[in-house]
């Protein structure tokens, strides 16, 4: 049997580097009646990002992917310079996924000299990741607002793995009356269950098994909740026992919260609740004390009989 011919790669997307050029592109597409979807990323694309692109492609006529490592969401102890930037690989993946435009601005394009305007979602930014990364969500909300203004999308697609980020962006879009629908896509996972993340490349191979403690913790809490357990403290005790099986992991947080408001869950759970986790592990080849921070979450069905997770 003749071997199948190799599929020719799709053409690379158009690269746009200036806000003005992206404005012109978006204005022309909207004038032609075409719907635009934006997928904001910081590059180092993986299958999780491509799932976002697929959802964007399903909803819209035109897909724009932004690749911009946003400096304002990195804290003083977070190494911006180490963030992976495989731009040519990312561009090829975008081409294969059918992306129309890659918006790849410089920091100076997104933050012109003298910039002094910030967007902050005050309450939702405080707990969970916000508690240990002050200013992070101000940087996220500000850059996403700029991306919305530049790309003028009808839809913006984000992953649910970054659940708090998604909640912040949805609140920001509502509060600022932005004409964009913010779409969440379920977390994509590696075969062993670990949530796909650009940060996984920094995880030492010998710590891979320990990192799976996050998945085991989510599973244990969900099993108990489905079995009728409603005590917040009992569920968190199960989570803590699983995370303790990762001795080289340092827990940032393991909390049950309301999925919309992110307020702490009550002592006795009566509705589906967000279980959010963040654990730090030593960095592969990093300096002493350097760590990679993995996050994961699940909305667990802690409602009344017959009520399931949303």
Domain extent, residue 284, equals: 198-300
Residue 193 lies in a domain: no
- The string of pLDDT tens digits covering residues 101-135 is 999 999 999 999 999 999 999 999 999 999 999 99
- The string of pLDDT tens digits covering residues 186-224 is 999 999 999 999 888 888 888 989 999 999 999 999 999
Kindly name the residue from 49, 136, 154, 304 that is annotated as catalytic: 49
Residue 4 lies in a domain: no
pLDDT score of 49: 97
Q: Do residues 158 and 216 both lie within one domain? A: no
Residue 23 among the catalytic residues: no
- Round to whole Å and give the CA distance between 130 and 205: 28
CATH number of the domain to which 214 belongs: 3.30.1300.10
Residue 92 lies in a domain: yes
Q: Do residues 133 and 233 both lie within one domain? A: no
Residue position matching structure tokens 């294969």? 96
Q: Write a three-state SS string for 64-121.
A: EEEECCCHHHCCCCCCHHHCCCCHHHHHHHHHHCCCCEEECCCHHHHCCCCCCCCCCC
Q: Do residues 114 and 41 both lie within one domain? A: yes
Q: Do residues 177 and 254 both lie within one domain? A: no
Q: Do residues 171 and 212 both lie within one domain? A: no
Please tell me the total count of domains within the chain. 2
pLDDT score of 309: 41
pLDDT score of 288: 72
Residue 226 lies in a domain: yes
pLDDT score of 202: 85
pLDDT score of 310: 41
- Round to whole Å and give the CA distance between 265 and 270: 9
Taking Cα atoms as reference points, which of 74, 199, 73 lies closest to residue 141?
73
Among residues 151, 185, 219, the one where a domain terminates is 185
Q: Do residues 28 and 152 both lie within one domain? A: yes
Q: Do residues 47 and 181 both lie within one domain? A: yes
- 10-residue averages of pLDDT along the chain (310 residues): 55 96 98 98 96 98 98 87 92 98 98 97 97 96 98 98 98 98 97 92 87 98 96 98 96 97 96 97 78 95 53
């Amino acid at each position: 049997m003749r071997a199948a011919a190799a599929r020719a790669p799709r053409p690379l997307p158009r690269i746009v580097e200036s806000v003005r050029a992206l404005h012109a592109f978006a204005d022309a597409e909207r004038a032609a009646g075409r719907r635009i979807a934006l997928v904001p990323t910081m590059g180092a694309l993986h299958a999780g990002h491509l799932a976002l692109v697929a959802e964007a492609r399903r909803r819209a006529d035109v897909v724009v992917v932004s690749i911009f490592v946003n400096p304002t969401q990195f804290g003083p102890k977070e190494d911006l310079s180490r963030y992976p930037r495989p731009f040519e690989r990312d561009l090829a993946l975008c081409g294969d996924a059918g992306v129309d435009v890659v918006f790849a601005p410089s920091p100076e394009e997104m933050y012109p000299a003298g910039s002094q305007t910030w967007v902050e979602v005050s309450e939702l930014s405080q707990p969970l990741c916000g508690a240990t990364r002050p200013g992070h969500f101000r940087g996220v909300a500000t850059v996403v607002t700029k991306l919305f203004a530049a790309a003028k999308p009808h839809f913006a697609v984000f992953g649910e793995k970054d659940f708090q980020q998604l909640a912040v962006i949805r609140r920001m879009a509502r509060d600022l009356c932005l004409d964009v629908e913010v779409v969440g896509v379920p977390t994509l996972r590696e075969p062993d269950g670990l949530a796909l993340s650009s940060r996984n490349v920094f995880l030492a191979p010998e710590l891979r098994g320990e990192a799976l403690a996050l998945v085991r913790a989510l599973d244990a809490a969900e099993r108990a909740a489905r079995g009728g357990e409603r005590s917040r403290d009992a569920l968190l005790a199960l989570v803590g026992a699983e995370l303790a099986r990762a001795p080289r992991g340092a827990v940032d947080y393991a909390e049950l919260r309301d999925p919309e408001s992110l307020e702490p869950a009550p002592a006795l759970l009566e509705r589906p609740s967000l279980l959010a986790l963040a654990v730090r592990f030593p960095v592969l080849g990093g300096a002493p004390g350097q760590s990679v921070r993995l996050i994961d979450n699940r909305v667990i069905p802690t409602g009344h009989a017959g009520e399931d997770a949303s």
